[in-house]
Amino acid sequence: MQIVLIEGDGIGPEVTQAACRVVAAANVKVDWVKAAAGIPAAEQFGEPLPEETLEMIRRYRVALKGPCTTPVGKGYRSINVRLRQGLELFASVRPVNTLPGIKTPYEKVDLIVVRENTEGLYAGLEHEVVPGVVESVRLITRPAAERIVRFAFELARHRGRRMVTFCHKADVMRLSDGLFLECARQVADDYPFIRFEEKPIDNVCLEMALDPSEFDVLVMENLFGDVISDLAAGLVGPAGPGGGLGLVPGANYGTRFAVFEAVHGSAPDIAGKGVANPIAVIRSAAMMLEYVGRGDAGARIEAAVMKALKVGIGLTRDLGGDGNTNTLTEQIIKHLAV
Ligand code: NAI
């Protein structure tokens, strides 16, 4: 099977290579078709997201992607936002669960963040009205709002989940989140067997800090989803730099294509040192295998990661170990074999 591999930049090449090794060790034969994005693409093609890369994903339909750096406040627009919009990868899915051997103040976290990926404040509609005054448009459309809420309910149905929480700020953004909320309520009516909750996003943050085990599937617009994904990752990760970022996988689904990537960024502070935690990308690859019909191999990889965390040998520094990307990858491969 042919799958596009975008290594990205920063720690991207290190962690995606680790994921490719684990997929091979799970006896899944993948012909990785490399495509460029991020700093290497900008240097080589003068364009951080070349059209060829989008074309390759359109041709092969599935990609595993490492993180790509986006300069803050200047330079090019976020590659990730453009990739998601360009391929209409409208649903970002981030499962966050308590992991063996990782001490946190919380127990029994098992939630899935579903984020609308193409609109909201990340639609990229910004302009300068006059010098010193800028405007950002928060785009919400009925078709996209209905589509993402239906996606969340279908996900809940397929995975036997009990509840979907719609997160909003409709009391303040009365028109945009008002429309989103109206769509959410309408879609929820089609799923009477799944509990539906609607909650202001600030309440969600408070409740997550108090007792995240209360949540199941959460669905929300783009910016809220970006923030909640990192917050949720922090609930299941160890204290210290990176928190749970090195542990939480992610996927971006559209109707025709899918791109799998970790929640974390390019981590320039540790790039090139061989110490990055590869687990988030390895678990993203496991989600990818499920998508391409190799859920058996994906489940074995996920189980091997859990065993490696439980045994605790060769862990990376963010997990309190003295190992590195390579030692942790080898441990996961070792547990795959048994
Ligand atoms: P970051 O996630 O790259 O790093 C935040 C902290 O977490 C750092 O201390 C880093 O060392 C640590 N960390 C992240 N991943 C880790 C891993 N696998 N193992 C161990 N430690 C890890 O977030 P930051 O610094 O805000 O962003 C850096 C760049 O990445 C920015 O240009 C940003 O735009 C980009 N980014 C790209 C994403 C993507 O391509 N999907 C997602 C998020 C950020």
pLDDT of residue 74: 58
Instruction: State the pLDDT confidence band at 208, using cuts at 50, 70 and 90.
Output: very high
Instruction: State the pLDDT confidence band at 81, using cuts at 50, 70 and 90.
Output: confident
User: Residue of the nearest CA to atom 12 in ligand 1?
Assistant: 242
pLDDT at 72 over 70: no
Residue 100 maps to a domain: no
More confident residue, 204 or 79: 204
What is the C-alpha to C-alpha distance for residues 148 and 303, in angstroms, rounded to an integer?
A: 29
Question: For ligand 1, is residue 266 a contact (CB within 6 Å)?
Answer: yes
Whose tokens are 């946190």? That residue is: 104
pLDDT, one tens digit per residue, over 218-274 is 999 999 999 999 999 999 999 877 778 999 999 999 999 999 999 899 999 999 999
Write down which residue in 236, 267, 283 finishes a domain.
236
- Could you tell me if 227 and 134 lie in one domain? yes
- Active-site entry in 34, 108, 171, 202: 202
* Domain with 116 in it: 105-236
pLDDT at 18 over 80: yes
| Phi, psi dihedral angles at 15 (to 5 degrees) | -80, -30
CA of 227 to the centre of ligand 1 (A): 13
pLDDT of residue 303: 98
Nearest atom in ligand 1 to 243's CA: 7
- Could you tell me if 129 and 24 lie in one domain? no
What is the total count of domains within the chain?
2
- Could you tell me if 281 and 333 lie in one domain? yes
Residue 275 maps to a domain: yes
CB atoms closer than 10 angstroms to residue 35: 21
pLDDT of residue 124: 82
* Ligand 1 pocket test target in 102, 228, 245 with most atoms within 8 Å of CB: 245
Residue 98 maps to a domain: no
pLDDT, average across residues 294-312: 97
Nearest atom in ligand 1 to 242's CA: 7
Amino acid identity for residue 285 in this structure: A
In the sheet that holds 110-116, the strands lie side by side as: 31-34, 2-6, 62-65, 258-261, 251-253, 91-97, 110-116, 217-220, 163-168, 195-200
Question: For ligand 1, is residue 272 a contact (CB within 6 Å)?
Answer: no
pLDDT of residue 248: 95
